[in-house]
């Protein structure tokens, strides 16, 4: 079974999401976090399910409901979350 690790940048991204939604839509935050973590949980069983990002060597998935992008890499028996962000905010 794959393990999940977060790079510091991904932890910062996640905290930024939490901070933003606590300020603008705190009632939505639990559903948003559920969406993000459900996608990460799927990677444990299907780590190669994300599309490959050309040039970077990373993979990415888009969460089902709120369309956050999760950039990750596979490192041995771990899925390493590299970044979490809104679809329109970055190019990875």
DSSP assignment of 15-74: HHHHHHHHHH-TTTHHHHHHHHHHHHHHHHH-TT-SEEPTTT--EEEE-TTT-EEEEEEE
Phi-psi map region of 78: left, alpha, beta (phi>0 left; psi -120 to 50 alpha): beta
| pLDDT tens track, the chain, 92 positions | 899 999 999 999 999 999 999 999 999 999 999 999 999 999 999 999 999 998 888 999 999 999 999 999 999 999 999 999 985 544 44
pTM (two decimals): 0.90
Domain 3-86 has CATH 3.30.2310.20: yes
What does the radius of gyration of the chain's CA atoms come to, in whole angstroms?
13
Using an 8 Å Cβ cutoff, are 16 and 43 in contact? no
User: In the beta sheet, which residues pair with residue 60?
Assistant: 51, 71
Would you list the domain boundaries of the chain? 3-86
SS3 10: helix
């Amino acid at each position: 079974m794959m393990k999940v690790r977060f790079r510091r940048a991904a932890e910062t991204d996640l905290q930024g999401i939490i901070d933003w939604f606590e300020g603008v839509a705190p009632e939505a935050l639990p559903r948003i976090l559920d969406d993000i973590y459900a996608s990460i949980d799927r990677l444990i069983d299907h780590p190669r399910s994300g599309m490959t990002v050309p040039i970077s060597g990373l993979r990415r998935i888009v969460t089902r409901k709120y369309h956050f992008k999760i950039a990750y890499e596979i490192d041995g028996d771990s899925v390493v979350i590299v970044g979490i962000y809104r679809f329109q905010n970055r190019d990875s």
